[in-house]
Amino acid sequence: MNNTRQNIMILLAGFVLFLNACTVTSDKVEKETVIPVFPLPPEKPRFIYERTIRSSIDVVKEDSTNAFRRFATGEQLHGEGFAKPFGISVDKGRIFIGDTVRRIVMVMDPAGEGKYFEIGKDEPGRLFMPLGLAQDAAGNLYVCDGTAKRVTIYDRDGKYLRVLGGKDYFSRPSGVAVDPEGTRVYVVDTGGVESNNHRVRVFDAHSGKHLFDIGTRGSGDGEFNLPRDAVVSPYNHHLYVVDGGNFRVQIFDMDGKFIGKFGGIGRRTGQFSRPKGIAVDKWGNVYVVDTAFGNVQLFSPDGKLLMYLGNRGSSDKPAKYMLPSGVAIDETDGRVYIVDQFFRKVDIFKPTKLMGPADSMNGIKNNQPDKKSSADNKPSS
């Protein structure tokens, strides 16, 4: 009897150690390195690296019964990992990641029930190359499909709703944006070397009717050369378009009237080399991914440089990127999510208590960038 009781106690003690190991393994790795903060010291930090997601294992919550069964049987915990993540959208802690190799949108809900599910595997609403993602105020998900040349719309739980566009409407669709009211959809048509269809096509979100186009191929104001992505700001109702081949971001009103631009080709912050994804926060700050710089640059609503997040790096470490492609902001808490294709991960950054509106970020007064920050924060080559 005593031996039986002793064996049970040993088994339970081992199980407790197992649970502790499960919960601290990834955190231990992070504690052994310097946790990245941005801006870099001696500037006051505005964002701090929080965690990395690589698969559904990182978000799915496991109850104690299943954990004990795995401990007793030696069963391994299996999850669904990224093959080639590209676009991302976040709504109230629920993360939507488009994977161009797996041809699905992977949905992870670490802030809610800790569940995982996939969108676009089957008809109706099957996906072939999910690129840009966007969501409206109701949480409906808009997925730009580069192969099917359409935008497929689902509700927040992945139920198929409808499609916009088609092969008669787009040459190379790559990005999508939705106005805050969910009435208009702005689809970025990248075009190509031999095409003049470098534009943003605007649709009625409910009827799917094509309303008008913004831009044509060129380098002038309101013209595009290989546009990549777009976002509509709920802060000022402006449309921001990543004009990749012209190395800039252009600003329009909701009807396509040109307002302004920022960026330009170069190797310093405030300039671009390979701009790709774009997002905005609730204060109107604009976040632009640059694949060549390996970072995300932050600008005020009118395009003044604020700071940057991340650095280019050949080692898979927190805040290091080789091929960053997408960025998203959770409006509920200000967390920033950055996708890297090469390292097949999503890094999450949490704003510090110093985080605030555009005119208080990074020592900025009246939307003027701190000169020291602007000059010193050079992207890593």
At 206-222, the pLDDT tens digits run 999 999 999 999 999 99
Using the CB atoms, write b or e for 323-352: b if 16+ within 10 Å.
bbbbbbbbbeebbbbbbbbebbbbbbbebe
Q: Per residue in 298-312, pLDDT tens? A: 999 999 999 999 999
> Could you give the CA distance from residue 285 to residue 19 in angstroms, rounded to a whole number?
41
> Could you give the CA distance from residue 283 to residue 359 in angstroms, rounded to a whole number?
9
**Taking a C-beta distance cutoff of 8 angstroms, is the pair 226, 219 a contact?**
no
pLDDT at 337: 99
pLDDT at 362: 42
Residue 381 counted as domain residue: no
> Could you give the CA distance from residue 301 to residue 292 in angstroms, rounded to a whole number?
23
Backbone angles phi, psi at 257, to 5 degrees: -75, 130
Per-residue pLDDT band for 121 (boundaries 50, 70, 90) equals very high
Per-residue pLDDT band for 109 (boundaries 50, 70, 90) equals very high
> Could you give the CA distance from residue 114 to residue 111 in angstroms, rounded to a whole number?
7
User: Please, what is the average pLDDT of the chain?
Assistant: 86
Beta pairing partners, 297: 288, 308
Residue 227 counted as domain residue: yes
Q: Per residue in 142-190, pLDDT tens? A: 999 999 999 999 999 999 999 999 999 999 999 999 998 899 999 999 9
Residue 21 counted as domain residue: yes
**Taking a C-beta distance cutoff of 8 angstroms, is the pair 109, 94 a contact?**
yes
pLDDT above 50 for 354: no
Residue 165 counted as domain residue: yes
pLDDT at 63: 57
> Could you give the CA distance from residue 236 to residue 358 in angstroms, rounded to a whole number?
13
pLDDT above 50 for 16: no
Structure tokens at 36: 């990245």
DSSP 290-321: ETTTTEEEEE-TTS-EEEEE-EE-SS--TTEE
pLDDT at 73: 60
Non-local CB neighbours of 159 within 8 Å, separated by 6+ positions: none
> Could you give the CA distance from residue 215 to residue 203 in angstroms, rounded to a whole number?
15
Q: Per residue in 83-103, pLDDT tens? A: 999 999 999 999 999 999 999
pLDDT above 70 for 13: no
Residue 128 counted as domain residue: yes
pLDDT above 60 for 15: no
> Could you give the CA distance from residue 206 to residue 320 in angstroms, rounded to a whole number?
40
**Taking a C-beta distance cutoff of 8 angstroms, is the pair 346, 326 a contact?**
no
Percent of the chain at pLDDT exceeding 70:
79
pLDDT at 65: 56
Q: Per residue in 235-263, pLDDT tens? A: 999 999 999 999 999 999 999 999 999 99
Residue 46 counted as domain residue: yes
Q: What is the CATH number of the domain that holds 145?
A: 2.120.10.30
Overall number of domains in the chain: 1
pLDDT at 305: 98
pLDDT above 90 for 26: no
Mean pLDDT of 8-36: 46
pLDDT above 90 for 49: yes
pLDDT at 85: 99
Domain span at residue 272?
2-376
pLDDT at 239: 99
Within 10 angstroms of residue 2's Cβ, the number of other Cβ atoms is 6
pLDDT above 80 for 346: yes
pLDDT above 80 for 223: yes
Structure tokens at 77: 């915990």
pLDDT at 67: 54
Q: What is the DSSP letter of 363?
A: G
Look at 39-53, 315-329, 357-371 and tell me which has the smallest mean pLDDT.
357-371
Whole-prediction pTM? 0.84
320: Cα within 13 Å, side-chain hemisphere: 10
Q: CA Rg, the chain, in Å?
A: 22
**DSSP strand pairing (47-53 vs 345-351):** antiparallel
Structure tokens at 73: 């049987």
